[in-house]
Chain A
Amino acid sequence: MPKLEIREERCKSCGLCIEFCPKGCLEITDRFNPSGYNPVGWMNTEECTGCAICARMCPDVVIEVFK
């Protein structure tokens, strides 16, 4: 099972990772980070294949992927 590590404090809530995840695994949360953004969360973990497309599309290197 792959694992994503999300550095919530670096997320700017731009949504690019969500847009490009082929499995719909990511969602914006209703938490707030110190910069005032709602960070993304790894929700649909069962579907995740660890392809790292989300991480590559993120402009802020928020997501780390382990397999």
Chain B
Amino acid sequence: MKQVFGRPESLVDVASHFCPGCHHGTIHRLVAEAIDHYGVREETIGAASVGCSVFMYDYFDIDVVESPHGRSPAVATGVKRSNPEKFVLLYQGDGDLAAIGTAEIIHAANRGEPLTVIFVNNTVYGMTGGQMAPTTMLGQRTTTSPYGREFSQDGYPIKITEMLAQLEGVAYAARVAVDTPAHLAKAKKAIFAAFEAQVEKRGMGMVEILSSCPTNWGMNAIEANKRIETEMIPYFPLGVFKERKGSDFF
């Protein structure tokens, strides 16, 4: 008998702390599959963010530098510039990347730092109890928007991938989801493409992944999956927003 599906080698064989049905687990597996596929496990340095993904040093069989909240693009820039032969991986939540660390990601992208950024958008600050983030949907109730997010007070959900795709330094930018088998297959391709942008020294490769947070959405895993299709995808369209094949800068 041949094994047709199993745990990727770069994903350490331990139980995760993620809540039942949380897509962080699925996304971790896809990223580990990419690390295995490109054979970069021994050369990868992760720059961890703050949030539910903070324990990436326990889950990926790679070296990881912890960063202050939102600052992993700055930490990763230092790591990559001092070790240009290393593969540098960022894994950031939406509170981390799209709120506290907005300046860091925009300038790292604009400088064309050859980094691979996995951006997990679950529309809330997960780890701290589901507060409103810049990505929270209009009308979404959170602990800090108990009557629902309202644009005249809180603005609109921010479309980071469209913003980053405009910057010359970004070689690859895509938004994907992992809520259905078909979306998951596309998500894997996009993560691989974001790895390739760095491997081929073309610039920053980033993927936004629409992700569930069943716990803070007050839903079970299946309802949370459905919310991605019915509420998130209509506002946050899936697709590849930028794909630059050649290397303009390197």
Contacts and interface: CB of A to CB of B under 8 A. Distances in A.
Contacts of A67: 1-2, 4
B5 interface: yes
Interface residues of B, number: 28
B25 A61 contact: yes
A13 B22 CA distance: 12
Interface string B1-44: 11111110001000110111111111001000000000000000
A55 interface: yes
A53 B214 CA distance: 21
Contacts of A12: 19-21
Nearest to B11: A61
Given A12-B21, A16-B21, A66 B181 contact: no
B184 interface: yes
A53 B7 CA distance: 14
A49 B176 CA distance: 27
Contacts of A61: 6-7, 11, 25, 29
Contacts of A52: 4-5
